Amino acid sequence: MKNNFWPALGFLSPALLVILVTIVFPFGYAFFLSFHKWNLKYRDTPFVGFKNYSRILGSETFWEIVGTTAVFCVLSVFLIMTIGYLIALLLNEEFWGRGMLRALLLVPWAIPEVVNGILWKWLLDPSFGILNRILMKIGLIEEYHSWLNSMPSAMFSVIVAYVWTHVPLAALIILAGLQSISKEVKEAALVDGAGIFDRLILITTPLLRPVLVVVLMFETIFALKVFDIIYVLTGGGPGRATTVLGWQIYSRTFTNLAFGRGSALAMLLGLLTLIVAVLYFKYLNKEED
Amino acid sequence: MGITYQIFGMRPDKLFNRLLVYGGSVVVLFYILGPFLWLVSSSFQPEQNLLDRDGSLFPTEWDFTAYRELLTGFLYDASSGIPYQARIFLRSMLNSLIVAGGVAVLSILIGSVAAYPLARMKFKGRNFLMFFILGTRLIPAIALAVPFYLMVKAVGMNDRLETLIVINLSFILPYVIWLLQAYYRSIPMELEEAARIDGCSRLGTLFRIILPLSLPGMVSTGILAFLLSWGDFFFALILTQSQSSFTSTVVASMFATDVDVKYVSIICAGVLSVIPPVSFALIFQRYIMSGLLSGAAKG
Amino acid sequence: MKKIIFALLGGITLTVFLVGTIHAKGLKMTGWPYQPDTVTENLGVFTAQSGIGAEFLPIPSDSYHDKMVSDFATGTGFDLVYVRDNFLAEWASAGWLHPIQDMPGFDQYRKDLSQASIDQLSVDGKVYGLPYYAGMMSFAYNADHLKSAGISAPPKTWDELLAQAKKIKAAGISNKPIALQLKKGNYIVISLEVIAAGFGGTMFDSKHNPVFQKKGSAFWKALAWTRKGLKAGLIDEASLSSGDHDVVNMLSAGSHTFTIVADYNLKAMNDPEKSKNAGKFKIGLIPGDGNTRSGTTSYVRLYSITADAKDKAAAWKLLQFLGGRDANNEYFVAKKWALNFGLGFAQLPLYEDPDVRSSLGKWTNPDVMAEQSKYSVNRGYRFLPYFSDWQTETWAELQEMLMGDDDLGNDLEKLAVAWEDLKN
């Protein structure tokens, strides 16, 4: 067992070098700041120990924001995984035009942030947005709805926009996984003559588990840190209804210049994400070793 | 197989399958491209039509000015009246391509080697190392912007594309490594064991067995790395300050100023930004499709 | 495959070398990318006049504050920067800007700028810059909508505004006629400050003690009025996610009748390239409450010298060229912005300039603007460093007050307590 350590490290060394060189200082710096009252507006930056952390953990608002983040994360990751898996299964079939469709799949992700903001803001606009017009035409709504300014439609709109950009990533990764197991799936299906759905649940999904766990983990990490789409669409509003941790970290650090508090929040979010990742790994990635 | 009758020359279950596939494709196409079509349609309209409440979803008047300015702007100077942002846009696309391409290639080179021991070798501290690698990515970039900037300035590397490549690489590598080790795991162990018995070294098995077999995974991971850095706005914003290193996400956002917003130009920039990643995917996708069968035959 | 990778790698290395950065020597200035070519052209004139090189390197508007904060915190390479008045206190108290009141020749600008303008450029008695453009929040309306609803003049009071909105709504001209900037961020606080100014007051007294929480205060009335308008469907609830560009779009689309925006926004609304309803928008006085005729807040965007600038004397020369007088003793740059781009100004001599007056008349009404400027209220509390800390906490609370039915007193009292806490 032990004799493998050094060869393994040899394989890993270029990657570790890149990561360590770039991350150790910034991470250490942020960690250091989180134990100080460090606001760029004031010269005085005293060491305060765990005070930043205790103030955050003791505030009601923080737990409310954690709740909002959890709701956002669970819903959007669920949707991304489901839609992503379905799209990947479809693109794994052979049909005319699938090459083009596979490439076009990347479109939502490739649109720059600022354009995405305009796109969704205008689609959802209550007075000249297209969504209202279409829904009205097919008779789903009776009057123009102001999607971003009441709950739960504000949260739902943000999730829809977010899911749309993230589905390509999930679908792409799952699709590649499907490609590498397609032979086993076909063989197994030939042997027991299983139907489409049995095949999916009994054969494909278990074989794909390592890849699915990784996608699930990535999407959870991304969703827990979400910031951009909230920034453009709702600014965390109405009230605090869509204020998530990523937004709160941004507003602490860049609006208040309270880098101490902001870093402490970031550390807590990092820790939370790590716990979730480890739990996924432990319970979903059961392995032979 | 007792069924003998056919519809349109196909067995009913096969026909059902086809209907499902084509029906599904239409739905997916609509879902993925619906919002994007609005962008494309808007990009050809004069700006005042965008705000028209009762306007048509499709352009009634065609206006190509914004595209022409973005695509040919680099040929002109300030006296042409073409806005500065449009004149540097194509250059910024090239910068984005260099960064995203560089990150994709480097992350696959480094990541494919790093993922091997995590997938195939048993050693003490393996899980710790895996989470250490991922853990570096769990703190939001916003909280690290200032220390990153400090570090980059200290080594005199501000406003350079190399810096963007390295920073993006370090943020994307953890994902690449995690993904590749997952793909490696789905390759049957027997193939590798056979090679080892034949006297192949670990490095040899990696290059002769694992890498060819996980080509689809590697290509998709490369596309992923490309996309992640293609979409990066935050690091590009913080670490660039002149047109020699502005990326297209930064330049696209420059069409909005404190006083006015050039919506059509932003939208056109968005539509153009989609072209490189999609064409890359088109070029490389035969490798995603090649799959295990062809790989195993060669191996 | 291998070949492709090698070709890619080779291409990348080669281009990285070719793209190697070349920077001009001389002063470096940054700001948001409004008309960067004109800025560069101006800098060329400066170089011709002074022999000092200067370069403009813009940063995206939306991220300007965040990028500059990171830049300052790590030692900036810029000599001159644009500053929005709402960051001035923050940047000055962080020690990032260089005060200019002791620079040679500064005193002439005390003459050319009103005391109110000087106050807006100052923190703790030190002056930190000269104006790039300036103006105030103003009331804009769609004159066609008013006409079709049979309304002869824009509203004089807040109550009349709601009454007119009701009439317009009833006539089916606009479903929710009033659009305000109530998005979380600076927007919501500034909008409520303007409305409060129309009710005859500010949030804090001249000694920076909170008065907004007192029953019957102007701010309290402003909140109550806005809440009433939202409940009645006369103020569009989309306001809660709208900023300046959003309300400009809402009016330009012809779907809304009234708004409160910075004066220059009227130009975009009346620009036929941007709006099908161009030409219909007029500027009016911000409503009052019967006792107070009107009220508004003013804003200024300024140029400042950074504390890290190496050659302060050269930077001061450039600062004067841009925000003050050039080598020919003229307000060359400010006049150009006013004439060619319709930006407002604070330099008093420009008000007398006939070219500037006639140019403004094309898209706004200089007389209404001049009258509106008389009602501008002083907001010295905005220049306290902890104001920004306090206001971030208020955004969500204010939105919740606007959407809720609770008594405003308790919630406002909490905000007042938070202010006192920060003060100590």
Which CATH number belongs to the domain containing residue A130 in this structure?
1.10.3720.10
Q: What is the mean pLDDT of residues C249-274?
A: 92
Residues C376, C382, C388: CA angle, nearest 5 degrees: 140
Axis-axis angle for helices C312-323, C332-341 (nearest 10) = 40
Strands (E), chain A: none
Q: With beta carbons less than 8 A apart as the criterion, state whether A80 and A170 touch.
A: yes
C421 has a chain A CB within 8 A of its CB? no
Q: What is the pLDDT of residue C5?
A: 58
Q: How far apart are CA B100 and CA B275, in angstroms?
A: 14
Q: Ramachandran region of residue B125, left (φ > 0), alpha (ψ -120 to 50) or beta?
A: left
Peptide bond into A238 cis (omega under 30): yes
Peptide bond into A7 cis (omega under 30): no
C292 has a chain A CB within 8 A of its CB? no
Band of pLDDT at residue C281, cut at 50, 70 and 90: very high
Q: What is the pLDDT of residue C21?
A: 41
Q: Which residues of B touch A125 (CB under 8 A)?
A: none
A145 inside domain = yes
Q: Which residues of A touch B33 (CB under 8 A)?
A: 104, 107
In single-letter form, the type of residue at position A123 comes to L
Q: Which two tokens stand for residue B72?
A: 């040919």
Q: Do B249 and A112 touch (CB under 8 A)?
A: yes
Query: Given CA atoms C103, C105, C111, C113 in this order, what sign does their dihedral have?
Result: negative
Domain enclosing residue A153, as ranges: 52-284
Q: With beta carbons less than 8 A apart as the criterion, state whether A257 and A40 touch.
A: yes
Question: Hey, which chains touch A, using 3+ CB pairs under 8 Å?
Answer: B, C
A227 has a chain C CB within 8 A of its CB? no
User: What's C296's DSSP letter?
Assistant: B
A1 inside domain = no
CB atoms within 10 A of CB A59: 11
CB neighbour class for A240 (10 Å; exposed up to 12, middle 13-18, buried from 19): buried
pLDDT digit string, tens, across residues B12-29: 777 887 888 899 899 999
Q: Do C396 and A148 touch (CB under 8 A)?
A: no
Question: Hey, which chains touch C, using 3+ CB pairs under 8 Å?
Answer: A, B
CA distances from C163 to B131, C149, C166, C273 (A): 63, 12, 5, 33
Q: How far apart are CA A42 and CA C95, in angstroms?
A: 9
Nearest-by-Cβ selection for C255 from B48, B53, B78 = B53
C268 has a chain B CB within 8 A of its CB? yes
Question: How far off is chain A from C117, nearest CA to CA, in Å?
Answer: 24
Band of pLDDT at residue C14, cut at 50, 70 and 90: low
ipTM score here?
0.88
Q: How far apart are CA C286 and CA C153, in angstroms?
A: 13
Q: How far apart are CA B280 and CA B101, in angstroms?
A: 10
Question: Hey, which chains touch B, using 3+ CB pairs under 8 Å?
Answer: A, C
Q: Which residues of B touch C41 (CB under 8 A)?
A: 78
Buried/exposed C363-397: b ≥16 CB within 10 Å, e otherwise: bbbeebbeebbebbbebbbbbbbbbbbbbbbbbbb
Q: Which of C258, C324, A64 is nearest to C334 (CA)?
A: C324
Nearest CA in chain C to A256: C389
Which residue segments constitute the domains of chain C, with CATH numbers given?
24-134+299-365 (3.40.190.10), 136-297+378-423 (3.40.190.10)
Q: What is the pLDDT of residue B124?
A: 85
In single-letter form, the type of residue at position C162 comes to L
Chains B and C form CB pairs within 8 A to the count of 125
Q: How far apart are CA B49 and CA B66, in angstroms?
A: 14
CB atoms within 10 A of CB A58: 9
Q: Which of C1, C8, C12 to mutate to test the interface with B (most CBs of B within 10 A)?
A: C12
A224 inside domain = yes
Q: What is the largest CA-CA distance in chain B?
A: 78
Q: Do B28 and A87 touch (CB under 8 A)?
A: yes
Q: What is the mean pLDDT of residues C274-294?
A: 92
Q: Which of C379, C380, C386, C381 is nearest to C423 (CA)?
A: C386
Nearest CA in chain A to B233: A113
Q: Do A269 and B281 touch (CB under 8 A)?
A: no
Q: With beta carbons less than 8 A apart as the criterion, state whether B51 and A128 touch.
A: yes
Q: Which residues of B touch C8 (CB under 8 A)?
A: 101, 105
Nearest CA in chain A to C185: A235
The domain total for chain A is: 1
A278 inside domain = yes
pLDDT tens for the 289 residues of chain A, in order: 456 888 888 899 999 999 998 888 999 999 999 999 998 888 888 999 999 999 999 999 999 999 999 999 999 999 999 999 999 999 888 888 888 898 899 899 888 888 888 899 889 988 878 888 888 888 888 888 888 988 899 999 999 999 999 999 999 889 888 877 776 776 766 666 666 677 777 778 888 888 899 899 999 999 999 998 998 888 888 989 999 999 999 989 998 899 999 999 999 999 999 999 999 888 877 654 4
Which residue segments constitute the domains of chain B, with CATH numbers given?
1-63 (no CATH), 88-298 (1.10.3720.10)
Q: Which residues of B touch A274 (CB under 8 A)?
A: 131, 134-135, 138
Buried/exposed A184-211: b ≥16 CB within 10 Å, e otherwise: ebeebbeeeebeeeebeeebbeebbbbb
Q: Which residues of B touch A29 (CB under 8 A)?
A: 146-147, 150
Q: Do C268 and B260 touch (CB under 8 A)?
A: yes
Q: With beta carbons less than 8 A apart as the criterion, state whether C220 and C212 touch.
A: yes
Whether the predicted pLDDT of C16 surpasses 60: no
Terminal CA-CA length for chain B? 35
Query: Given CA atoms B76, B81, B83, B86 in this order, what sign does their dihedral have?
Result: negative
Residues C162, C164, C168: CA angle, nearest 5 degrees: 115
Q: Do B35 and A207 touch (CB under 8 A)?
A: no
Q: With beta carbons less than 8 A apart as the criterion, state whether B164 and B239 touch.
A: yes
> Which of A116-120, A278-282, B214-218, C307-311 is the least confident region?
B214-218
pLDDT digit string, tens, across residues C172-202: 999 999 999 999 988 999 999 999 999 999 9
Put simply, the chain B residues between 212 and 271 with a CB less than 8 A from any chain A CB are: 213-214, 216-217, 219-221, 223-224, 227, 230-231, 233, 248-249, 252-253, 256, 263, 266-267, 269-270
Nearest-by-Cβ selection for C273 from B47, B102, B244 = B47
Q: Which residues of C touch B245 (CB under 8 A)?
A: 19, 21
Question: How far off is chain C from A81, nearest CA to CA, in Å?
Answer: 29
Q: Do C175 and A144 touch (CB under 8 A)?
A: yes
A177 inside domain = yes
Q: Which two tokens stand for residue A123?
A: 């689609």
Q: Do C241 and A149 touch (CB under 8 A)?
A: yes
User: What's C378's DSSP letter?
Assistant: P
Question: How far off is chain B from C102, nearest CA to CA, in Å?
Answer: 30
Q: Do A102 and B288 touch (CB under 8 A)?
A: yes
A20 inside domain = no
Q: Which of A12, A287, A7, A1 is nearest to B123 (CA)?
A: A1
Q: Which residues of B touch A214 (CB under 8 A)?
A: 178-179, 182
Q: How far apart are CA C101 and CA C114, in angstroms?
A: 15
